Amino acid sequence: MSNIEIGVAGIAIALALIALRVPIGIALGLVSILGIGEMTSMRVAWGMISATPFDFAGTWELTAAPMFLFMGYLCTTTNMTQGLFQAMRLYLARLPGGLAVSSVMASAFFAAASGSSVATSAAMSRIAVPEMLKHNYDKGLATGTVAASGTLGSLIPPSVLLVLYGVYAQVSVGQLFMAGFLPGVLSALLYIVMIMVRTKLNPSLAGDANVRSSWSEKWDAFKNIWPLPLLIALVLGGIFTGIFSPTEAGAVGTTIAAVIALARRTLTVAAVREAVTQTAVSTASIFIILIGSLFFTRFLAMSGVPSAFSELILGVSTETWWIILAVALIYLILGMFIDSIGLLLLTLPLILPLVEGADLNLVWFGIIVVKLLEVGLVTPPIGLNVYVIKGSLGNSVSLNEVFKGVSWFILMDIVALLLIVLIPALSLYLPQKMF
Please give the residue that has the higher pLDDT: either 26 or 220.
26
Name which of 135, 147, 150 is nearest 97 in CA terms: 135
- Indicate if the pLDDT at residue 225 is higher than 80: no
Q: Give 114's pLDDT tier (boundaries 50, 70, 90).
A: low
- Indicate if the pLDDT at residue 419 is higher than 90: yes
- Indicate if the pLDDT at residue 399 is higher than 90: no
Which of 116-125, 189-198, 199-208 tops mean pLDDT?
189-198
The answer for residues whose C-beta is within 8 angstroms of residue 167's C-beta and 6 or more apart is: 59, 61, 62, 173
Q: Give 333's pLDDT tier (boundaries 50, 70, 90).
A: confident
Q: What is the mean pLDDT of the chain?
A: 84
Are the C-beta atoms of 363 and 177 separated by less than 8 Å?
no
What is the dihedral sign for C-alpha 356, 373, 410, 19?
A: positive
Q: Report the domain count for the chain.
A: 1
- Indicate if the pLDDT at residue 401 is higher than 70: yes
Least confident of 247-256, 294-303, 321-330, 384-393: 384-393
Are the C-beta atoms of 373 and 343 separated by less than 8 Å?
yes
Interval 42-49 mean pLDDT: 78
Please give the residue that has the higher pLDDT: either 52 or 277.
277
Q: Give 357's pLDDT tier (boundaries 50, 70, 90).
A: confident
- Indicate if the pLDDT at residue 406 is higher than 80: yes
Q: Give 75's pLDDT tier (boundaries 50, 70, 90).
A: confident
Q: Give 418's pLDDT tier (boundaries 50, 70, 90).
A: very high
Domain ranges, residue 95: 3-433
Tens-digit pLDDT profile for residues 195-210? 999 998 998 888 776 6
Interval 393-404 mean pLDDT: 82
In angstroms, rounded to a whole number, what is the distance separating the alpha carbons of residues 415 and 409? 10
Least confident of 64-68, 108-112, 183-187: 108-112
Q: Which pLDDT does position 244 carry in this prediction?
A: 84
Q: Which pLDDT does position 128 carry in this prediction?
A: 82
- Indicate if the pLDDT at residue 20 is higher than 70: yes
- Indicate if the pLDDT at residue 74 is higher than 70: yes
What proportion of the chain, given as a percentage, has pLDDT over 70? 96
The DSSP result for 365-415, as a single string, is: HHHHHHHHHHHHTT-SS--HHHHHHHHHHGGGS-HHHHHHHHHHHHHHHHH
Amino acid at 371: K
Interval 124-136 mean pLDDT: 82
Are the C-beta atoms of 288 and 25 separated by less than 8 Å?
yes
- Indicate if the pLDDT at residue 194 is higher than 80: yes
Q: Give 179's pLDDT tier (boundaries 50, 70, 90).
A: very high
**What is the reported pTM?**
0.85
- Indicate if the pLDDT at residue 354 is higher than 80: yes
Q: Give 422's pLDDT tier (boundaries 50, 70, 90).
A: very high
Which of 14-18, 45-49, 114-118 tops mean pLDDT?
14-18
Q: Give 391's pLDDT tier (boundaries 50, 70, 90).
A: confident
Q: Which pLDDT does position 111 carry in this prediction?
A: 76
Tell me if the bond preceding 381 is cis, omega within 30° of 0: yes
What is the dihedral sign for C-alpha 37, 38, 40, 41?
A: positive
